[in-house]
Structure 1
Amino acid sequence: MKKLCLLFIAGLMSLAALASGSNLAFRHYTTDNGLPSNCVRDIMQDSRGFIWFATDGGLVRFDGQRFRVFSLSKVEGKHSQDDFVSSMHELDGKIWIGVDTQLFYYDPETEKILAPELHYAPACTSRIDSYVRDMTSDKDGNLWLAVAGNGVFKVNSVTGDVVNYEFPQLSNMVGRIYVDSRNDVWVMGNQGRGILFKLNKSDDTFKPLQLKLDGRPLHVIAVAMRPTTCG
């Protein structure tokens, strides 16, 4: 039976153990090779095979031979005049881009970076106006964003409707967001607050999940999710 197993990592894993017996080859890319900055905050591969880098010097696309840099400093509607990119995620062919103050997307048809039109729910007390730490999507076409100091935002990628979820237990400092194969949404705390939350869809609120080992609370610092055969 196919199930989703959650692997809760409460300590550091040995990279040597992971690489044991493997012949790994590495190539080192820096500003000497065309990167606009050596500070890379996120990496992803899109559905067309391009590798994308979120850097302090802009959004970068790599085709296996050359780097192409997309500057955000002069994008219409951008609040700040820098090229800082913090996170990325592909949804429906678009590359969604999190920066230090807001959300953008790259349109592959026009090769332009644009600002989406967002519609905040009346209950929203916060805005996407801070560092976008993490980003993912669910099977319903929603983007999920972790925004420093402002909690979590759900953004409908079609309508632009936005809902905000606050986490007072974490001072709204959310580290990571995950969506599993059952379309359940999970949130992990940041800055030493190792608390895991799961979205309760019946009342649209996140509930803390207390993990214990031998009766003692586990301090979660990382989560890995993968489909596997359990039991």
Structure 2
Amino acid sequence: MTLALTAKAQLWTNPTTGIPSANVTTITIDSQDKVWIGTLSGLAALQHGQWEPYHINNIQTEDEILKVWTTDQKLWLGTGYRGLWGFDGASQWDDLQLSSAGVGTIGFGEDSEGTLWVLSTSGTLIKWAGGNWEELILGIPEATDVLVDRDDQVWVLSASEGLLKYKDGVTKRWSSGGDAPTRPNYIPSNSLHDMVQDKQGIYWIASDQGLLRFDGTSFSVFDTVNSGIGSNKTRRLAIDKNGALWIGTEDAGISKYNGSSWVTYNMLNSPMGSNIINSIAIDASNRVWIANGYDHLHYEGEAKGCLCWMRRMT
């Protein structure tokens, strides 16, 4: 189902509106409900209605920020070629140099013991414990993201090799292709991009074949044939304060699923300047923040900055 959107929105579409670049790659909300964006030209935070830029190590350079994550104590930046950086939100920067120089960071998680888990652009899963990096799994083809779940299981996603789970030195993999879907390690798609876990412990995965639901044992698929999702090319996921799932797509805007019904928002019925969704975040007021129109693989010229729906959509 597609509905017209009447909620008020605010857009930041180019550097004249205060953002470092229209190429917004990532959005996150910290514990103080401050909005942070990463762009191809650096980091910025929204304060008192204005974007304030921040520069890694307080040196004014245009750093390529691929992902930004928050923990209770710190902001974490995954860069295109300078590894992982920690930031206290004011002026203190920590360079957590990865094992290999010149390697970027595309995935990050923290477990209940405070151990950091990092996925590098070279496809290596690395953990930080006791002040040292330890490389655990090397060369994961086309790795895209990592999730540390509530049981401290580490999940690694790939755009070509499916899903991998790591816990206490034991690795398990799921892949598609080959024989029938009845085999225990079958997954409906090998091309995975994002993963979240809801309050019931169910995993949701964005894939090229639609939205995957995984209960830890079996998968089910929501696609354009059997559901109201806008596109099978799903890319980014977020869960709002009411438990509804927001699904960003590569070509059809953003769909919302509340467990029983679907709504899709796109360029025709919303303020979005592009149907490409690069990042989604939900703030404390249940407002939806979107990085819109940037895909570094295909559509860089269509970058549309970021937008916020100022009143919650229904």
Q: Per the alignment, in what secondary structure is the counterpart of residue 278 of structure 2?
A: strand
Match in the other structure for 1:181 = 284
Amino acid aligned to 2:165? R
Amino acid aligned to 2:250? A
The one-character-per-residue Cα deviations of 1:72-118 (angstroms, maximum 9, x if unpaired) are: 44548xxx97512111111120110111120111113xx11222586
Segments of 5+ residues of structure 2 without an aligned counterpart are 1-30, 43-54, 57-83, 86-91, 98-129, 295-299
Q: Is the 8 A contact 2:210 2:222 kept in 1?
A: no
Q: Indicate yes or no: 2:214 matched with 1:112.
A: no
Q: Per the alignment, in what secondary structure is the counterpart of residue 26 of structure 1?
A: strand
Q: Which has the higher contact order (CA 8 A, sep 6+)?
A: 1
The one-character-per-residue Cα deviations of 1:94-148 (angstroms, maximum 9, x if unpaired) are: 110111120111113xx1122258642xxxxx73322x22111001111111100
Match in the other structure for 1:50 = 153
Listed as ranges, the matches of 1:182-201 within 5 Å are 182-191=285-294, 192=300, 193-201=303-311
TM-score, normalization by structure 2: 0.52
Q: Is the 8 A contact 1:133 1:145 kept in 2?
A: yes
Among 234, 254, 257, the alignment partner of 1:152 is: 254
Q: Is the 8 A contact 2:230 2:254 kept in 1?
A: no
Match in the other structure for 1:69 = 173
Q: Post-superposition shift, 1:197?
A: 1.4
CA distance change for structure 1 residues 8 and 54 in 2, over 3 Å: closer, same or farther? closer
Q: Indicate yes or no: 2:125 matched with 1:96.
A: no
Provide the rounded CA distance (Å) in 2 between the counterparts of 1:51 and 1:146: 23
Match in the other structure for 1:87 = 194
Provide the rounded CA distance (Å) in 1 between the counterparts of 2:36 and 2:94: 19
The one-character-per-residue Cα deviations of 1:32-86 (angstroms, maximum 9, x if unpaired) are: 7xxxx3321111111111111111211111113121112244548xxx9751211
Q: Per the alignment, in what secondary structure is the counterpart of residue 289 of structure 2?
A: strand
CA distance change for structure 1 residues 75 and 140 in 2, over 3 Å: closer, same or farther? farther
Amino acid aligned to 1:104? L
Q: Per the alignment, in what secondary structure is the counterpart of residue 290 of structure 2?
A: strand
Provide the rounded CA distance (Å) in 1 between the counterparts of 2:38 and 2:138: 34
Q: Is the 8 A contact 1:31 1:38 kept in 2?
A: no
CA distance change for structure 1 residues 112 and 81 in 2, over 3 Å: closer, same or farther? closer
Segments of 5+ residues of structure 1 without an aligned counterpart are 121-125, 206-231
Q: Post-superposition shift, 1:172?
A: 0.6
Match in the other structure for 1:28 = 135
TM-score, normalization by structure 1: 0.68
Provide the rounded CA distance (Å) in 2 between the counterparts of 1:8 and 1:187: 10
CA distance change for structure 1 residues 71 and 136 in 2, over 3 Å: closer, same or farther? same
Provide the rounded CA distance (Å) in 1 between the counterparts of 2:284 and 2:156: 26
CA distance change for structure 1 residues 43 and 173 in 2, over 3 Å: closer, same or farther? same
Match in the other structure for 1:162 = 262
Q: Per the alignment, in what secondary structure is the counterpart of residue 93 of structure 2?
A: helix
- Superposition RMSD in Å: 3.1
Provide the rounded CA distance (Å) in 2 between the counterparts of 1:82 and 1:135: 16
Overall identity of the aligned pairs, in %? 18
Q: Post-superposition shift, 1:162?
A: 1.1
Q: Post-superposition shift, 1:8?
A: 4.1
Q: Is the 8 A contact 2:165 2:172 kept in 1?
A: yes
Q: Post-superposition shift, 1:183?
A: 1.6
Provide the rounded CA distance (Å) in 2 between the counterparts of 1:8 and 1:24: 28
CA distance change for structure 1 residues 93 and 201 in 2, over 3 Å: closer, same or farther? same
